[in-house]
Structure 1
């Protein structure tokens, strides 16, 4: 370029200046921040897309979903700083932080919470024509198990059937790799039961394909909650109103829930963390339009406590907003 600029000063000055400007912009332009999610078409991918759109509107920040087979596969990359952001549930994050379960002997002490997003509400579902009318009836049915590429899949099933006094050895099971293979097994009738996430477009489509599903309601009361927490400490039961639940639920139904979080590597830049929090609080219409469960998110719910520290910039942002300290 130097010889061209020197030899063609009269005709090339503008081109030389343009090349310098464009090259400079290219050199300093920030790369999009990756946010670990599951594959396109799954709930956490849709959640990540919603966040990406909201923070682009709020601050012009580029965030792109980085899909993995499960949220648990993304977590070690965030722990090592190879990926700055991720989406995961409280059970998985607590296991990673404490070095338990699939994270045994490899505790992830570099991960930090950014925001609690909303609860994942779920239940076990059977086809409309299935004879099972309650969780206790599942003793004669075939359930998914294994979930070899996920952290919490089998725990979810075990926690819900525990409220009926059942454990996985008490029922027939078929091993699956992840939640999508669980749905495939249900569609192919290799299993009689699937985990249904309330409000999930993927699961609503599955229900349509099989001619409708029926959710098996969890029992209410302290004993049911205690049994669930014995298997999955961050989970609880709650009653879902039909108006908040999509087409599958037509009456108030008690389900299991646990919270989903946005988290980050401890060294993720403050220049990204603070705009993300602003977007979550200020761009609710955008978030809800992309993923309706974000309707739950707000100033009083955005901070949760699962025993992990918050990113320093997130804590600073919440203090500035008058929302700190966290309240479980």
Structure 2
């Protein structure tokens, strides 16, 4: 009886240990595999795990799917752009009427450049040339992306009605539609694995440059105030960028649930700030991260634990 009791106690201890271990693992919400968002999350999870914080990427269809999970405490961290984070916390845009009050930005990761790409053998060379052509659109599981694409079109002097809209649920499905010939142009982020895949499958693709003028940037910001025009230089890993390319840019953020303790958030931000090279080694786009500029005012308060590291005012 004593032997059985000892075994029972030992088993209970093991269960408690397993539960504690599982509870310590952080879930990071990201877009699907092949997206820059997924690659960012995977790099962050690896660096955190290498520095004693167990983290696991949990991809889904889009930010409108996983930001609410962070708000409910079912996920801990997430990758989202500044537009989405501001809208979600303040209850604007897609999140109008159902603000996510239990999430907060924790750190600026790096500027994110997006654009529309076409096949190399296409006669489409500028955004303005897209008039009358088919372009991926809709993004029902990534509602903010419609506004981003509308901003790109606006910079090129176009309205959404000027293109033939090929409706897709998310940007990954949009590339698939492009590859099957349903669209002449597809919207995606520069430097993404999915763009490299598209390049190989389509026999070559290139992004379309934005006009380099103050008027074009004003049209861009009339749709997305947080956006700006940034020239991306060609480098290894930037498929479809063969020449200096003016593109739409906005900042990507690490988002955290308010249920995550201040001390843990401070430790997460510190690890990321102090391990840029490890992030770059995992995902090259992190070379644009500035450890001294991980705070940017996006109009909503940061997590207190992050502010304790970033030394910035709410």
Coarse TM-score class (shorter-chain normalised):
over 0.9
Following the alignment from structure 1 to structure 2, what is the Cα–Cα distance between the partners of residues 31 and 241? 41
3-state secondary structure, aligned to 2:210: coil
Number of residue pairs the alignment of both structures matches: 313
Cα deviation digits, residues 97-137 of structure 1 (max 9, x gap): 22222211111222211011111111211101111121111
For residues 170-209 of structure 1, the aligned pairs below 5 Å read: 170-209=162-201
Query: 1:41 and 2:34 equivalent?
Result: yes
Partner of 1:235: 227
Check if 1:4 corresponds to 2:3: yes
Which segment drifts farther, 266-275 or 84-93?
266-275
Matched with 1:210 is 202
Q: What TM-score do the two structures reach when normalised by structure 2?
A: 0.93
Q: Distance in 2 between matches of 1:132 and 1:19?
A: 66
Choose the corresponding residue for 2:152, options 143, 160, 181. 160
Unaligned runs of 5+ in 1: 7-12
C-alpha displacement of 1:261: 0.5
Please tell me the root mean square deviation across aligned C-alpha atoms, in Å: 2.0
> 1:19: how far off?
4.7
* TM-score, normalised via structure 1 length: 0.89
Question: Over alpha carbons, which structure has the higher Rg?
Answer: 1
Distance (whole Å) between structure 2 residues aligned to residue 272 and residue 165 of structure 1 = 46
Unaligned runs of 5+ in 2: none
Decide which moves more: 177-186 or 237-246.
237-246
| Cα distance, 1:75–1:247 mapped onto 2, change above 3 Å | closer
* C-alpha distance in 2 between matches for 1:103 and 1:5: 55
Equivalent residues in 2 for 1:221-300, closer than 5 Å:
221-243=213-235, 246-300=238-292
Could you tell me how far apart the structure 1 residues matched to 2:120 and 2:158 are? 22
* C-alpha distance 27-67 of structure 1, shift in aligned 2 (>3 A): closer
Q: Which residue of 2 aligns with 1:88?
A: 80
Tell me by how many angstroms 1:325 deviates. Answer: 4.1
Moved over 4 A (4+): 15-21
Q: Is the 8 A contact 1:61 1:272 kept in 2?
A: no
* Contact 1:87–1:263 under 8 Å retained in 2: yes
Contact 2:175 2:194 in 1 (8 A): no
* Number of the residue aligned with 2:109: 117
